[in-house]
Amino acid sequence: MLLLALDTATPAVTVALHDGDSVVAESTQVDARRHGELLLPSVDRVLASAGLTLDAVTGLVVGVGPGPYTGLRVGLVTAATFGSALGVPVHGLCTLDGLAYASGLEEPFVVATDARRKEVYWARYDGSRTRVGEPAVDRPAEIAEEVAGLPAVGAGALLYPEVFPYARGPEHQSAAALAALAAGKLAAGDELLPPRPLYLRRPDAQVPKNYKVVTPQ
């Protein structure tokens, strides 16, 4: 097994290689505006660090979000393209699950990432591998009672200390954690998600109202 994992659902552009036992190489850069520019060089850097080429990859793992439309689709399209070119499977994992796994917590806690618009993408967990319910997007004040007293990880939690007073790291997504989680699930025969985006809301870009259609005369 040689899994190439990548995630662009958050400001982190993160890539890792996992050989089924451990992470072979990884790269993470945090830049919310340069996902498309940074992802492929990151893949090249990780492969070069491991002394491997892309055709050695036997499967791909991609974070499916939740996340903003523009950044999230960069990773998903890249993973789908690699999978098609190599003829290997492409597996999806919830981005929040990767952060939860990286936390190492084995008690009830919350993962929250920045959803912009003064909202967070979030989910509750009973442990680093066990999510409770489906991810959601809400204003922090609207979920204050649900998350009260719980440790929280992720950049979204750190942005709103009044709601997440027990916020801690990791702040950013790690493809290394995502790859390790996926490798464990695959080894156990668990079914992963299809590589389809989990947006939870409509994209920021909208067709202007009262748009005037101009047709040639």
Q: Which two tokens stand for residue 118?
A: 């003064």
pTM recorded for the entire structure: 0.90
CB 96 within 8 A of CB 111: yes
Token couple for 133: 């319910």
3-state DSSP assignment of residue 102: helix
What is the per-residue pLDDT for 205? Answer: 47
pLDDT tier, 72 (very low <50, low <70, confident <90, very high otherwise): very high
Up-side HSE of residue 106: CA atoms within 13 Å toward CB?
0
Among 35-44, 85-94, 114-123, 201-210, which stretch is predicted with the lowest mean pLDDT? 201-210
> Which two three-digit tokens encode residue 188?
């156990």
Residue 206, C-beta contacts closer than 8 angstroms, at least 6 positions apart:
none
Q: Can you count the helices (H) and strands (E) in the chain? A: 6, 10
Task: Provide the pLDDT for residue 208.
Answer: 53
**176 Cβ contact list (under 8 Å, min separation 6):** 5, 14, 16, 18, 23, 26, 102
Rounded average pLDDT over 68-89: 96
Alpha carbon of 128 to those of 114, 132, 150, 155, 167: distances in Å? 20, 11, 14, 17, 15
Are 125 and 108 spatial neighbours (Cβ–Cβ below 8 Å)?
yes
Q: What is the mean pLDDT of the chain?
A: 93
Q: Which two three-digit tokens encode residue 48? A: 């070069």
- Rounded Cα distance between 5 and 83, Å, is 12
Task: Tell whether the model's pLDDT for residue 23 goes beyond 50.
Answer: yes
pLDDT for 187-214, tens place per residue?
Answer: 999 999 999 999 997 555 455 556 555 5
Give the C-alpha separation, 60 to 202, whole Å. 27
SS (HEC) of 161-210: CCCCCCEECCCCCCHHHHHHHHHHHHHCCCCCECCCCCCCCCCCCCCCCC
